[in-house]
Amino acid sequence: MLVFSSFFLHGPLPQSRSASAVALIAILVAALLLLVRRRWPIPVLAGCVALYGLASATGTVAPGIVLAIAIATFGLANRSTRRVTIIAAAITAAAVFLLSVIGAVVSAADPRMVQFVLAVALAAAAGDATRSRREYIVAITERAERAEQTREAEARRRVSEERLRIARDLHDTVAHQIAVISLNAGLASSSLESPEKAKEALSAIRSASRAVLSEIGNLLALLRTEDPDAVITAPPPGLGRLDELVAQFAQSGLAVRLRVEGDPGRVGGTTDLVAYHVIQEGLTNALKHGGDHRAHVLVEVTDDQVAVVVTNPTVPSAVDAETRGATVGHGLLGLRERVASVRGVIESGITAGGYRLAAVLPSTKEGPG
């Protein structure tokens, strides 16, 4: 821009008049003013225009001051808004034109007038373009930073959700089998005088241990694999495997009465899995904390929802703990998260007949295949 302006200001100009002392001082002052143009762009531009008027009053053509005006205009446009730039450039060009004519330096039809005005206009345009590019780069950088922060936040959210999912899966895998092992270990220790009962208890412990080790092995294999599409090969649990679940608890000494109303085959997807885990958690709690070693399971399937209720008698210690506000275990916490993930509701607590765990889940029709 400075080279282009210098060409317009110096190239085609004929030999100017001898500069007076006042004109020389005005040129030097204009050069000094440019040193502070970044701090005070408007006062510097106004000062350069005033100095040009002073030189014109002496009858001197001062291309150096016009160049200083162009530089000051560029600095103002580079640090101001477009509206301010347009107004300032228009006023400056008009001032240079009028001061040149009034000072009788050149006539209005002189080609040098076009050079002076064009220099100011080009300086304003170059400064505005520089400012616009700088703002564009800043905006692009800010968007990139926000996108990076969003990606990091999304990654942290996914890690947190994955940790919760692993915790729920690990609990569902281990809790029931550990409860079976604990119950049968106590039964075996109290049945040492009855070899047959002790043998049955130890057999149940061995079977539960193998099951939990197998399930943990599958879960660890899934976590260690590098294939993002890897899945556990075992069939997913659901309401279709309720008989198998009840048989497992019956083998552990819990008598379960199961009543199913409606067609469980109509339930599919995540709802089917969550309903199964609700029943599993309720029966596990009944096995660990219930009384009389019995429980009742009710499953109601309608067109738009699935209701699951698990009840069992309680021992006095469990009622006292509930009354004192005992903390909810990790199993119920994970269960509430599962139910919430399918927009269902869950309730648990002591009732007149014992402990009750109930959940209502929106029904998801199973698709073909």
Percentage of residues of the chain with pLDDT beyond 70:
71
Residue range 23-45, pLDDT digits in tens: 788 888 888 888 888 888 888 88
pLDDT in tens, 272-318: 888 888 998 888 888 877 777 889 999 999 888 999 999 998 866 55
Identify the pLDDT of residue 361. 92
Residue 292 neighbours by CB distance under 10 Å: 13
pTM for the model: 0.50
Q: Give the C-alpha separation, 361 to 279, whole Å.
A: 13
Strands 345-351 and 354-362: antiparallel
Work out the number of other CB atoms within 10 angstroms of the CB of residue 323: 9
Order of strands across the sheet that contains 354-362: 255-261, 294-301, 305-312, 354-362, 345-351
Q: What is the pLDDT of residues 100-120, one digit of tens each?
A: 777 655 555 566 677 778 888
The SS3 call for residue 270 is helix
Residue 268 has pLDDT above 60, yes or no: yes
Residue 100 near residue 106, CB atoms below 8 Å = yes
Contacts of 182 (CB under 8 A, 6+ apart): 288
Q: Bridge-partner residues for 362, per DSSP?
A: 305
How far lies 315's CA from each of 287, 318, 320, 352, in Å?
Answer: 12, 6, 9, 13
Q: In sequence order, what are the beta bridge partners of 308?
A: 299, 359
